[in-house]
């Protein structure tokens, strides 16, 4: 095996964990009811920050999350739960 082939093989083996992690995550999308466009809603997983949802035109949102259950904190101190799967999911959030 040539040196360049050996180096390429190690490069691919090193990237394998990175390539497989994303394959398990999915997009959660839908509408946020009760929050105006431009509102930023923090998303938590086991009380740890997991991302932010920015409410778009007509209340639309989308966020890329690993599978699991997440809590979305609304501006009026209400919370909503969303479930992320290994593929796309549509869920509305009622703030």
CATH code of residue 89: 2.60.40.1120
pLDDT of residue 8: 42
Residue 84 resides in a domain:
yes
The pTM of the full predicted model, rounded to 2 decimals, is 0.72
The answer to the question of residue 12 being in a domain is no
Residue 76 lies in a domain: yes
Number of domains in the chain: 1
Is 19 inside any structural domain? Answer: no
Alpha carbon distance 66, 71 (integer Å): 13
Contacts 24+ apart (CB under 8 A), 80-85: 82/28, 82/43, 83/28, 84/25, 84/26, 84/28, 85/26
- What sign has the CA pseudo-torsion 59, 65, 71, 74? negative
Helices (H), the chain: 3-24
- What is the structure's pLDDT at 9? 44
- pLDDT tens for 14-50 read 544 444 444 577 899 999 999 999 999 999 998 899 9
| Domain residue limits at 88 | 25-94
18 part of a folded domain: no
């Amino acid at each position: 095996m040539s040196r360049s082939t050996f180096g390429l093989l190690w490069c691919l083996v090193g990237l394998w964990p990175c390539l497989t992690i994303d394959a398990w995550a999915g997009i959660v999308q839908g509408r946020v009811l009760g929050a105006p466009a431009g509102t930023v809603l923090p998303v938590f997983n086991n009380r740890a920050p997991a991302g932010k949802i920015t409410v778009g035109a007509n209340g639309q949102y989308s966020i890329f999350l690993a599978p699991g259950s997440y809590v979305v904190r609304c501006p009026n101190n209400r919370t909503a739960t969303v479930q992320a799967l290994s593929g796309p999911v549509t869920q509305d959030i009622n703030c």
